[in-house]
Structure 1
Amino acid sequence: MTENNTITCEKFLPHPPAAVWRALTDPELHARWWAAGDVRPVVGHRFTLDMGNFGSQPCVVTEVDHQRLLAYRFAEGTLDTTLTWLLQPEDDGTRLLLTHSGFDLDSPMGRQAYDGMGKGWPHVLDRLGTVLAETA
C-alpha cells in the first residue's frame, strides 16, 4: 500500500466551535453542505450517507470529543476510510482540520476516490462555510 494515503484539509471558519460542531452533527445541516444521513456524535452509532451517484455509504462513529473531535469510518466494505474532523478554537472562530485517511492507493477504486476526494474536499468545506453563514 502506498504510504501517503491521507487527504488533509483545513479551513478557518468565523464561527464558534459550537456552531461548527452543530453543522457536523445535525443531520439537517449536514445534508445542506455535504450529504444526507443520520449522523450523530455517539461512538458506535451506525448511519449511512447518501452520496448521490456513488450510492449510500455505510459509516460508524469511532471517536467523539464534544465540540472538538468527530471521527467515523466511511464507506465500510468498499473504501474503508476514516474521516476525522478536529475543531480548534481560534480568535473569534474555529480552525477545522479534516483528515480523510486509509485509502488503498494500490486499488483502482481507492486511487480514483483519493484523487476525486482530494479535489472535492475544499469545495465541500466551502459549502460548509456557506451554510454556517446562512444559519448564523
Structure 2
Amino acid sequence: MVTTGEREDRLFAALADHFDMRRPSLSEHLKVLREAGLVAEEMLSVRWLDPDPANFAYWTLTWTLEHEGRGTRLFLVHEGFDPDDPAQMMARKIMDGGWRSHVMRALEQVLTDL
C-alpha cells in the first residue's frame, strides 16, 4: 500500500531531474512545478534530499506571498535543519546570511527593474 508521503516522495524524485540546485533558476523551477500542478500563485514549496551520509540533509524551502495593504509581503522559510548536527547548524547560519543579503538584494533589483 502506498501512503501519501511515499507518493509525494516518488513525485518529488521524478521532478528532481528537472532541477539543478547548484544553479537554481526560480522561474524555470516555477514553470515545472506549475505544469505538474504543485504550485499556486501564492506559494512555492520545494523539498530536497542530500543522501550523502557525510552531509545528510532533508530540507524544505517555502516562499509565500501575502497581500498586505496596497502591496504584497514575501515570506521565506527554510526548514529541516538538525539542531543536533553542528555541520547543519553551520550551513543554516551561512545560508541565512545569503538569504538575507544576496538573495533579497537580487530580488529587490529584479522587482525594481520590472
Q: TM-score, normalization: structure 2?
A: 0.61
Post-superposition offset of 1:119: 1.9
| Aligned: 1:79 with 2:53 | no
Name the one with the larger helix percent. Answer: 2
Secondary structure at the aligned position of 2:50 is classed as coil
Q: TM-score, normalization: structure 1?
A: 0.52
Question: Which structure would you say has the larger RCO, counting Cα contacts within 8 Å and 6 or more residues apart?
Answer: 1
Aligned residues: 83
Aligned to 2:20: 48
Secondary structure at the aligned position of 1:126 is classed as helix
Partner Cα separation in structure 1 for residue 84 and residue 47 of structure 2: 19
Larger Rg: 2
Deviations 1:78-130 (A, max 9, x none): 32111011101223321000111110122232111111112221111121111
Post-superposition offset of 1:48: 2.3
- Select the residue among 124, 127, 130 that pairs with 2:106: 127
Partner Cα separation in structure 1 for residue 44 and residue 80 of structure 2: 16
| Aligned: 1:97 with 2:75 | yes
Unaligned runs of 5+ in 2: 1-10, 24-32
Partner Cα separation in structure 2 for residue 99 and residue 64 of structure 1: 18
Matches within 5 A, 1:4-83: 44=12, 45-46=15-16, 47-50=19-22, 64-77=38-51, 78-83=56-61
> Sequence identity of aligned pairs in percent?
34
Aligned to 2:95: 117
Secondary structure at the aligned position of 1:50 is classed as coil
